[in-house]
């Protein structure tokens, strides 16, 4: 079985098929060619952030999705556990170790043959997981087959060295004390915050061709766009100080948080600061924050185009093409948004592909689970289709008023559904 693309989705798809006895030809263009957003030659590269978001199974939909995947044998969840770095209640990883783990597992698997080449056309049967920056001949082939693609823009955040942080102007703490003090907090008083926002709003941005404001995905909004919605928007969003107190027990006016990027703790990412500012402007603006006055940037933020299919029109809930039952798509190009969601779609594509190969009827998890809800979203949400993260809103409702109790009950119901799904797959 052909799998095109060794990102999060393609890696999960290839792993599932191989682990269940199928021979896989995994086609990946790196290191022959990289997209503009990629820097590493390893598989499963994390481009935007090193965080896989919350690991709270019973209080967060993405945390619940991770547990669903673990129970189905997810490769990326294994890699995340092996490459984990402290991040409070979030699951953050050392990017290099995470990618290296997945690469080694796939390259050494006896049922997987890795082929380094750039795919030029759609296969008659296989899984296409080439990611949101698919271009060239394959992009043209997808457009010709399905009538073009939709797109939006997302952005990545800068990364700085730990040794360049002025810790005398920062404090270490997790919001509401939940965690082990994994975040470095860079506080600002009102004057400092106002100066930062003014500089941010006046800073020069990279000009994007055909860029329109409406195409920005709300879940990955550039910090300067958020600031443009009101001078206090950052204080009530990315820079909110709620649940944080400095060494004197006082809550700052605003706070920029830094999260560890690698296991050694030598690199830190600016949380929620994805941006489209020019590189020199990024250094000038973020250095206005007292704790970052001498910050050394090892990677600047960038913005890039993300392409996704009009999936409700062209895909089934099992991620197969409506006009070709053995051609599957997976990852962000299907309209799921986020690292974990992309990996989950790859696992589901692998599961459904395997059943088709063996002449079995499709078995889908219900929308009581996050995996099932995402599957149905990409196949049935016709109006203003946009990428979707894991969230409770897409799961089947539950008539319980207490929010904390409701989330726990929904999580227990979802995990029971995944166990039912797993048992059905074994039949």
Tens digits of pLDDT across the chain (427 residues): 999 999 999 999 999 999 999 999 999 988 877 666 566 778 999 877 888 999 999 999 999 999 999 999 999 999 999 999 988 888 999 999 999 999 999 999 999 999 999 999 999 999 999 988 888 899 889 888 887 566 666 778 898 999 999 999 999 998 887 777 889 999 999 999 999 999 999 999 887 554 334 455 556 789 999 999 999 999 999 999 999 988 788 899 999 999 988 777 888 999 999 998 999 999 999 999 999 999 999 788 877 777 888 899 999 999 999 999 999 999 999 989 889 999 999 999 999 999 999 999 889 999 999 999 999 989 986 556 777 889 888 889 888 889 889 999 999 999 999 999 999 999 8
Question: So what's the pLDDT on residue 215?
Answer: 53
**pLDDT for residue 211:** 36
Give the distance, in angstroms, between the CA of residue 148 and the centroid of all CA atoms in the same chain: 24
Q: What angle separates helix 95-108 from helix 75-82, to the nearest 10 degrees?
A: 130
Looking at residue 219, what is its pLDDT? 62
Kindly report the pTM of this predicted structure: 0.77
Burial class (CB in 10 A: 0-12, 13-18, 19+), 418: buried
Q: What pLDDT was estimated at residue 214?
A: 43
**Per-residue pLDDT at 212:** 36
Q: What is the pLDDT of residue 33?
A: 72
Task: Give pairs for 116-123: CB < 8 Å, separation 24+.
Answer: 116/28, 116/29, 116/30, 116/31, 116/32, 117/27, 117/29, 117/32, 118/29, 118/32, 118/33, 119/4, 119/5, 119/27, 119/29, 122/327, 123/2, 123/4, 123/327
Distance CA 38, CA 30 (A): 9
378 vs 122, 128, 314, CA distance in Å? Answer: 20, 16, 10
- Cα dist from 402 to 180, 190, 261, whole Å: 28, 37, 36
Query: Rounded to whole angstroms, how far apart are CA atoms 248 and 184?
Result: 16
Q: What is the DSSP string of 117-141?
A: ----S--SSEEE---TT--HHHHHH
> In degrees rounded to 5, what are phi and psi of residue 401?
-80, -40
Secondary structure of residue 173 in the 3-state scheme: coil
> Using only C-alpha atoms, what is the Rg of the chain?
22
In 215-369, alpha helices (H):
223-227, 279-286, 311-314, 339-357
Report all structural domains of the chain as residue ranges with CATH numbers, in order of start: 2-153+305-426 (3.50.50.60), 159-301 (2.40.30.260)
Sign of CA dihedral 20, 339, 381, 307: negative
> How high is the pLDDT of residue 403?
83
**297-299 vs 126-128, strand pairing mode:** unpaired
pLDDT at site 175: 85
């Amino acid at each position: 079985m052909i799998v095109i693309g060794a990102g999060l989705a393609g890696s999960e798809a290839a792993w599932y098929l191989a682990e269940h006895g199928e021979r896989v030809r995994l086609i990946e263009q790196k290191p022959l060619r990289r997209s503009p957003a990629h820097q590493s030659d390893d598989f499963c590269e994390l481009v935007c952030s090193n965080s896989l978001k919350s690991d709270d199974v019973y209080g967060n939909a993405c945390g619940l999705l991770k547990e669903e995947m673990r129970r189905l044998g997810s490769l990326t969840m294994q890699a995340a556990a092996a490459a984990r770095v402290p991040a409070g209640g979030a699951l953050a990883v050392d990017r290099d170790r995470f990618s290296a783990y997945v690469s080694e597992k796939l390259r050494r698997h006896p049922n997987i043959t890795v082929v380094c080449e750039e795919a030029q056309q759609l296969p008659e049967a296989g899984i296409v997981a080439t990611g949101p920056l698919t271009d060239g001949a394959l992009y043209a082939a997808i457009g010709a087959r399905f009538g073009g693609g939709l797109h939006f823009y997302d952005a990545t955040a800068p990364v700085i060295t730990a040794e360049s942080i002025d810790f005398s102007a920062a404090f270490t703490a997790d919001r509401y004390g939940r965690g082990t003090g994994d975040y470095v907090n860079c506080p600002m008083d009102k004057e400092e915050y106002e100066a930062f926002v003014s500089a941010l709003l006046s800073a020069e941005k990279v000009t994007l061709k055909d860029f329109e404001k409406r195409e920005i995905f709300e879940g990955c909004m550039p910090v300067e766009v958020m600031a443009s919605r009101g001078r206090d928007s950052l204080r009530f969003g990315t820079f909110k100080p709620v649940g944080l107190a400095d060494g004197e027990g006082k809550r700052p006016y605003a706070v920029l948080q830094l999260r560890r990027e690698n296991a050694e703790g030598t690199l830190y990412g600016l949380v929620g600061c994805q941006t489209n500012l020019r590189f020199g402007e990024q250094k000038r603006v973020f250095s206005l924050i007292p704790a970052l006055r001498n910050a050394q940037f090892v990677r600047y933020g960038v913005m890039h185009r993300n392409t996704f299919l009009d999936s409700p029109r062209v895909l089934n809930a099992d991620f197969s093409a409506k006009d070709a039952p053995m051609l599957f798509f997976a990852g962000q190009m299907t309209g799921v948004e986020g690292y974990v969601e992309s990996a989950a779609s790859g696992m589901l594509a692998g599961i459904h592909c395997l059943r088709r190969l063996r002449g079995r009827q499709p078995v889908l998890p219900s929308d009581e689970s996050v995996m099932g809800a995402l599957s149905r979203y990409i196949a049935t949400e016709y109006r203003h289709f946009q990428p979707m993260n894991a969230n409770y809103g897409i799961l089947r409702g539950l008539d319980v008023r207490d929010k904390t109790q409701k989330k726990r009950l929904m999580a227990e119901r979802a995990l029971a559904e995944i166990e039912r799904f797993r048992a059905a797959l074994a039949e």
